[in-house]
């Protein structure tokens, strides 16, 4: 019971942090889930939490979503999320995780050294970012940070950034979760009992995060995103 309470508290804090940064709930919660369950079950359980976390953000930020950017990212995300979800059982997840971590750390450090730096705003940037985030989300459950690194190139207002990122994340989750179910990814179904409680923690975490987001200016927001990318990269690496 104590372990389950700790996990639910971690999920609430992950939802708060992810609402402020626009991503990161999986990256923050999966390492905690690894303490209590096997890797594949953890990916599935956290994916379910991630879906509702994104749905609540979409509802709150619906009017701020940039649907043009969403389509550029979302379509390739769906295709690659499906691919990644099928490959998870046969791919060297550890190696992929470390490559992702190295990219995030380098990008975040460079962003701090060069505050005005961002990837070039273009359709190609969106397609590459959407493809990579979808593939990594399906494969290891950690695509949001990569999506954030590419999405920041479009210099969206913070609320638009969070809402658009959540919309992209939602279509990825709606693609990968059914694939996980079909392939029977979760090896220990006893943890399914946590899902209703995770939905509640996701809701309150998003509400709290939105309140905090309204008090943050745009420059500070960009720094928070860069810091989140760095911390996620370090966390994945270790």
Task: State the pLDDT at residue 147.
Answer: 87
Plot region of 8 (φ>0 → left; ψ -120 to 50 → alpha; else → beta): alpha
Mean per-residue pLDDT pooled into runs of 10, the chain (238 residues): 84 88 79 79 90 94 94 92 81 68 76 70 89 86 81 88 93 92 83 94 94 79 74 76
Contacts (Cβ under 8 Å, ≥6 apart) of 83: 135, 138
Total tally of structural domains belonging to the chain: 1
Q: What angle do helix axes 123-140 and 67-87 make, rounded to 10 degrees?
A: 40
Q: Retrieve residue 161's tokens.
A: 């950034």
Question: What's phi and psi for 6, nearest 5 deg?
Answer: -65, -40
Give the global pTM: 0.80
Q: Could you tell me the residue range of the domain that residue 60 belongs to?
A: 2-237
Is there a contact between 175 and 82 (Cβ–Cβ < 8 Å)? yes
Q: In the chain, what is the straight-line distance between the N-terminal and C-terminal CA atoms, in Å?
A: 27
Task: State the pLDDT at residue 185.
Answer: 80
Of residues 168, 130, 174, 123, the one with CA closest to residue 149: 130
Task: State the pLDDT at residue 26.
Answer: 81
Task: State the pLDDT at residue 195.
Answer: 94
Task: State the pLDDT at residue 96.
Answer: 64
Return d(Cα 142, Cα 27) in angstroms, integer.
6
């Amino acid at each position: 019971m104590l372990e389950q309470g700790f996990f639910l508290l971690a999920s609430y804090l992950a939802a708060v942090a992810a609402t402020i940064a626009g991503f990161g709930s999986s990256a923050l919660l999966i390492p905690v889930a690894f303490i209590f369950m096997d890797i594949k079950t953890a990916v599935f359980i956290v994916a379910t939490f991630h879906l509702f976390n994104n749905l609540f953000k979409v509802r709150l930020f619906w009017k701020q979503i940039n649907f043009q950017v969403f389509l550029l990212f979302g379509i390739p995300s769906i295709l690659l999320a499906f691919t990644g979800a099928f490959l998870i059982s046969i791919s060297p997840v550890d190696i992929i995780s470390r490559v992702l971590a190295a990219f995030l750390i380098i990008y975040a450090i460079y962003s701090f050294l060069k505050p005005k730096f961002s990837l070039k705003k273009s359709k190609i940037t969106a397609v590459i970012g959407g493809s990579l985030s979808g593939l990594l989300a399906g494969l290891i459950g950690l695509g949001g940070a990569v999506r954030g690194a590419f999405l920041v190139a479009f210099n969206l207002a913070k609320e638009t950034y969070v809402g658009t990122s959540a919309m992209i994340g939602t279509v990825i989750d709606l693609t990968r979760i059914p694939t996980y179910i079909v392939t029977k990814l979760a090896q220990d179904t006893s943890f399914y009992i946590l899902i209703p409680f995770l939905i509640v923690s996701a809701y309150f975490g998003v509400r709290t995060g939105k309140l905090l987001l309204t008090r943050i200016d745009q420059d500070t927001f960009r720094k928070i995103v860069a810091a989140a990318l760095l911390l996620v990269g370090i966390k994945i690496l270790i």
